[in-house]
Structure 1
Amino acid sequence: MERRTFLKLLLGMLAGSLSGCGGGGGSNSQQPNLPKPPPSQEPKRIKFGLGNDPERMINAYDPDGKRVLDAIQPDIVCMWINGARDYLGRLYTPSMDYIRSWAQKDRFAQWSQMGYELMVITWENYDGQNSALGLPTYGEWHISEQFFADLEEFLGYLRSQFKNKLYFALATEQSTYTACRYDTACSNPQAYSDRINSITEEYFSKLRDSLLKALRIIRNTFPLSDFGVCFGGWLVEFEEGINFVKYFEPVIYESNAVFFQSMMGKKASENNGYGNPERILKNCQFYSLYGKPIHLAHYMPQNKRTDVISDDAQRMSNHDYLKTIANYLSSFSFMDYGVLKANEFDCLTKMVSFRQLLKAIL
């Protein structure tokens, strides 16, 4: 896309609203009026995060992972805690196995001493999409006592070993967790996701209370960390999605940061000029209303298309785009280093260049 065309699109986004393009899209967007940064505000440095397995990258369990890590030189390493249900129907947290192993080997202390910050993202196998995590949880893990027990155990390991900045992005993509809850055959997985209604409020009210409790536990242990809920990036693109976010405002107000994701699997040129760069900017604008640090917790095309990564990175490297998102965004994290290893379509090269530009906009 020519620079003039891209700037025209960017200015159009700043001035008006866009139609829904993802997640539960289909309704017309009713984007509220959003504030622009004060002209005198200086752009701040955007930290870069890299996931999804710090040990495999840092400790060279995967030599190619170490190569990607060394090329990108992230400020933050990202890890996931996933909730699951075994084939006997019991909720459990398989991620705790490697967390305990890392703690026993003093990995958290080691990574802290190396200067890395740590982002923790929680998710659950709500619809059974990950067969390695067993049966669908239907959203039960994040509202279970298992979730709180594992959270407190994990925080104990971090308290004794990790000394640098921490980020907690809880219940990422939580608007999808009811997709199969009321239709356990998942025959119509979009029937209930992304919306608060007379059916779903039964679950989302419990989730809201659970997240409030989790945030208070984190604050009491790590008051200087950034903690909050992680929203699907598509929610700000349509009316019901915005209403969903507003339902969780008590959680946002209890948080000291806001997190979102962006995982569109198409280039902007394949989607009427609207791709991940536009979605990221739109989320930044929307969540700036809450006056809290904004973090992109995990970026990566959901279909792992490396040509999309390359195109996104090149377009986000535009100077005017960088200057604009620097007024909003505190961190940008790439979800899974494995997608970058082969450098298809120069995706690693272009992501490294983008990462360097994030440091150069000071």
Structure 2
Amino acid sequence: MKWVEEFKRLNKKYLLVGFLSSLSIFLIGIVLFRSIQNRNEFDKKSITAQIKPTLTNTAVPTLSVTPTFTPAPVLTLKPAEAPAKILFGIGSQAGSAMDYRIVKEAPVQMLTSWYNGTKDLEWMQVQKNDLIPRLYAKGYLVHLITWSDLPEETIQTPYGSACGRAYPVSTQVVEDMRQLAQIYSGPGPMYITLFTEFQTYTCTDNNWNGNENYWKTLKDNFRKIKDIFHANAPNSKVAISWGSWSGRYDDQSNQGGRSLFSHFEDILHESDFNAFQSMQSDSNVQDILDMTRILGSYGKPVMLAHYKPSNHSQDVFNSDMNKIFTDEIIHQLISNGLFAFSFMDNDMLENETSYQIVKNGIQKYGR
């Protein structure tokens, strides 16, 4: 019958459409499922990439892997350490030095006075109740240098005959230093540089050989004077002062130059600090480096007690200052023990170019 065949034909058509529709829905479902699965996998990978698991040991014998968020450490910048500084000073007398322009415009904290003999005690005594209290009150460090320019002569010492300047090896200098200590004693630090350029005090300069009696007596007086200052000026520190030329050469046959240091090894160890001058007329930079290294090897702080080219050459002065006031040289000096640098006087600073070099250097490296 026609209606039966038509029914069969339509039924097949609908079945085919239904089948295709079901298949489409099934395929769409698979695609959606894989998309969701892939997205989950991506999310897991993303989290894994950001969170690094921390291995945690627990009380039970199992390994637990627990993802944890670890905050990034806070970056803190450590301040750079300030470079070490040098104590700068100037002479030649503290009273006038207080009014120097360099003292007012740069951190010059140590003022130097020179003592040349017994007669100086007269005017220094006057300062005891005036200038010296003012120095300490203003916070300056007091620095004394002793020097003798008396004629050389044959003298008798406890060790026998010697030839040289009599005052430094006399009993008089010991008593004079007691009075000097009492005059300058105060509440602040005081540095005493004894017998500056002492290598020139003997009739034959610089040599140990032939001068043994003089040097032994000078050592004895140094020890006595050091004890006197410690007793009468408790804030004092005492050293003996070398001429920088000793670092330039070595005379082993006469035990002069660098060979002389070993004969004063005991004093260099006993001193509160070690000191030298530098006054060469050609250049002083290498001398200053060498002397700081040599004296610093004895384990005590080193002071350049007085600096000035002996020929008053502005060119030498400027050359020295331009080389010294550099990070490299200052670092070497400090590393080898230099703690103080004193200009002999204000003469070289009357030149404006020289003044600015020194002012800038002290402002950068002075304390």
| TM-score, structure 1 as length reference | 0.70
Q: 1:350 aligns with which of 343, 346, 357?
A: 357
Q: 1:262: Cα distance to partner? A: 0.6
Which one is further off, 231-240 or 217-226? Answer: 217-226
Deviations 1:253-283 (A, max 9, x none): 22110001111111xxxxxxxx311111111
SS in 2 for 1:195: coil
Q: What letter corresponds to residue 94 of structure 2 in structure 1?
A: P
Q: Distance in 2 between matches of 1:69 and 1:42?
A: 23
Question: Is the 1:126–1:138 contact (alpha carbons within 8 Å) kept by the matching residues of 2?
Answer: no
Q: 2:271 aligns with which of 237, 255, 259?
A: 255
The CA distance in 2 between the partners of 1:282 and 1:173, in whole Å, is 16
Partner of 2:171: 145
Runs of at least 5 residues in structure 1 that lack an aligned partner in the other structure: 1-40, 61-65, 84-92, 129-136, 180-191, 267-274
C-alpha separation in 2, matches of 1:95 and 1:223: 22
Q: Tell me how far apart the structure 2 counterparts of residues 234 and 164 of structure 1 sit (CA, whole Å).
A: 32
Tell me what 2:158 maps to.
Answer: none
Q: Which residue of 2 aligns with 1:120?
A: 144
Q: Which amino acid aligns with 2:265?
A: E
Aligned with residue 338 of structure 1, among 322, 347, 352: 347
Contact 1:294 1:330 in 2 (8 A): yes
Match of 2:133 in 1: 109
Structure 2 Cα separation of the partners of residues 342 and 107 of structure 1 = 28
Q: Indicate the SS of the match to 1:228.
A: strand
**Alignment deviations for residues 58-110 of structure 1 (CA, whole Å, 9 cap, x no partner):** 2x5xxxxx324323441100011103xxxxxxxxx222122112114x21111
- 1:50 has 2:50 as partner: no
1:67 is matched with: 101
What is the match of residue 28 of structure 1?
none
Aligned counterpart, 2:112: 78
How far apart in 2 are the matches of 1:224 and 1:107? 18
Alpha-carbon deviation of 1:43?
A: 5.0
User: Residues 203-240 of structure 1: CA distance to partner in whole angstroms, max 9, x if unpaired?
Assistant: 11211111121112122334443211111111122222
Instruction: Select the structure with the greater relative contact order (CA < 8 A; seq sep ≥ 6).
Output: 1
Q: Distance in 1 between matches of 2:356 and 2:236?
A: 31
Contact residue 148 and residue 214 of structure 1 kept, 8 A:
yes
**Alpha-carbon distance between aligned partners in 1 of 2:123 and 2:357, rounded to the nearest angstrom:** 32
Whether the aligned pair in 1 keeps the contact of 2:230 and 2:237 (CA below 8 Å) is no
Which of 280, 284, 296 matches 1:276? Answer: 284
The yes-or-no answer on 1:298 pairing with 2:306 is yes
Question: Does structure 2 conserve the Cα–Cα contact (< 8 Å) formed by 1:68 and 1:341?
Answer: no
Alignment match, 1:194:
206
- The question of whether the paired residues in 2 share the 8 Å contact of 1:215 and 1:227 is answered with yes
Give distance in 1, aligned partners of 2:365 and 2:102. 17
Opposite residue 317 of structure 1, the aligned amino acid is: F
Corresponding residue number in structure 2 for 1:227: 238
Over the aligned positions, Cα root-mean-square deviation in angstroms equals 2.1
1:245: Cα distance to partner? Answer: 2.0
The answer for the alignment partner of 1:174 in structure 2 is 198
Q: Percent identity?
A: 26
2:119 maps to which residue? 94
Query: For this pair of structures, how many residues does the alignment match?
Result: 271
Q: Give the structure with higher Rg (CA).
A: 2
Looking at structure 2, the residues matched to 306 and 294 of structure 1 have their Cα atoms a distance apart, in angstroms, of 26
- Opposite residue 260 of structure 1, the aligned amino acid is F
Separation in 2 of the partners of 1:54 and 1:342?
Answer: 21
Shift in CA distance, 124/116, structure 1 to aligned 2, threshold 3 Å:
same
Partner SS, residue 147 of structure 2? strand
In structure 2, the CA distance between the partners of 1:42 and 1:74, relative to structure 1 (3 Å rule), is closer
Runs of 5+ unmatched residues, structure 2: 1-80, 153-162, 251-255
With over 3 angstroms needed to count, the CA separation of the structure-2 counterparts of 1:329 and 1:43, relative to structure 1, is: farther
Q: What displacement does 1:330 show?
A: 0.4
User: Is the partner of 1:252 in helix, strand or coil?
Assistant: helix
SS of the residue aligned with 1:124?
coil
Q: 2:113–2:143: 8 Å Cα contact kept in structure 1?
A: yes
